[in-house]
């Protein structure tokens, strides 16, 4: 059954990755599910935990891939096909090294910024036209420490700021659904 929008929160599966910088996208989708009283259910066929909510009368599918980050496209492409959504009707929520910690930005299309999850999605969708809700996690001390940086938990002060940003990112997704991506960019890209 077709959806109006597919919202995908990127992260790695497993308890050991919960609360890491790399999983903030998954945290946002789980926040949206909680807000709307939905439990995400594991779907082996789709290789994701999925749920459906209605926002302003629109059918919105929520998904957190069960694949590792660098294979996100293996979950997103079959979901898009099953839900009959075009890439422009997909919102990918993900961590972003190029933004300061807890900074939120909304973007339509664009480059990969070295993000392996986005790279996998582009490879499997054959398009980069999806929308992005980007959450800053800051730069690692060196390029070689990038994986350690995104797979580690944040210090307390950063974690508190990130909790606020996760809620704001969920608001931004709802804004995309109700008012469109341009309104969301105007509202959220002018902050911090």
Domain ranges of the chain: 5-188
Q: What is the pLDDT of residues 102-122, one digit of tens each?
A: 899 999 988 877 788 999 999
Rounded Cα–Cα distance for residues 179 and 70 (Å): 31
Give residue 62's pLDDT.
98
When comparing pLDDT for 44 and 32, which is higher? Answer: 32
Note whether 172 and 190 are within 8 A (CB). no
Please tell me the class of the 5-188 domain.
Answer: alpha beta
Beta strand pairing status for 48-55 and 41-43?
Answer: antiparallel
Q: Is 22 a catalytic residue?
A: yes
Beta strand pairing status for 48-55 and 104-108?
Answer: unpaired
Rounded Cα–Cα distance for residues 77 and 62 (Å): 14
Catalytic choice (22, 94, 115, 149): 22
When comparing pLDDT for 191 and 20, which is higher? Answer: 20
pTM: 0.92
């Amino acid at each position: 059954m077709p959806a109006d929008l597919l919202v995908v929160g990127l992260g790695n599966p497993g308890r050991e990755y919960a609360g890491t910088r790399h999983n903030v996208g998954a945290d946002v989708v789980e926040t949206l599910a909680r807000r709307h009283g939905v439990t995400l259910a594991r779907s082996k066929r789709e290789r994701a935990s999925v749920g459906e909510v209605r926002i302003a009368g629109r059918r919105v599918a929520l998904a957190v891939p069960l694949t590792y980050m660098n294979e996100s496209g293996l979950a997103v492409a079959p979901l898009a096909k099953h839900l009959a959504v075009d890439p422009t009707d997909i919102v990918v929520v993900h961590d972003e090294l190029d933004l300061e910690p807890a900074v939120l930005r909304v973007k339509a299309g664009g480059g990969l910024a070295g993000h392996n999850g986005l790279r996998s999605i582009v490879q499997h969708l054959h398009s980069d036209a999806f929308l992005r809700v980007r959450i800053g996690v800051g730069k690692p001390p060196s390029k070689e420490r990038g994986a350690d940086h995104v797979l580690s938990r944040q210090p307390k002060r950063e974690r508190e700021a990130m909790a606020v940003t996760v809620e704001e990112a969920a608001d931004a997704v709802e804004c995309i659904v109700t008012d469109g991506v341009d309104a969301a960019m105007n509202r959220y890209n002018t902050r911090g």
